Amino acid sequence: MFGVGGFSGGSSNGPVYEIEVNEGSVNMRHFTDVANDRWKNGYRMAHVFEQDKNTVVVWEKVR
């Protein structure tokens, strides 16, 4: 993993997101484990995209 950062919508009950950037390709077994752990902690995968050969995942806090 290259880095993780987070931000919120600014209001006390606004949306909360975390962004994870992975250099190069993603190990799918590890990615599955991370996705399941995130879900258990109240996050859902909001977006996944590729930028400059890096995988960017946006997680949204839903509960």
The pTM score is: 0.74
Q: Which residue reads 């994870």 in tokens?
A: 20
The domain locations on the chain are 3-61
**Residue-by-residue DSSP string for 11-39:** STTS-EEEEEEEESS--HHHHHHHHHHHH
Q: Domain 3-61 maps to which CATH number in 1.10.287, 2.60.40, 3.30.200, 3.40.50?
A: 3.30.200
Among the listed residues 21, 12, 33, 13, the one whose alpha carbon sits nearest the alpha carbon of residue 58: 21
Token digits of residue 39: 């879900």
**Tokens 């949306």, located at residue:** 15
Q: pLDDT digit string (tens) for 2-48?
A: 455 555 555 666 678 888 888 887 889 999 999 999 999 999 999 99
pLDDT for position 2: 47
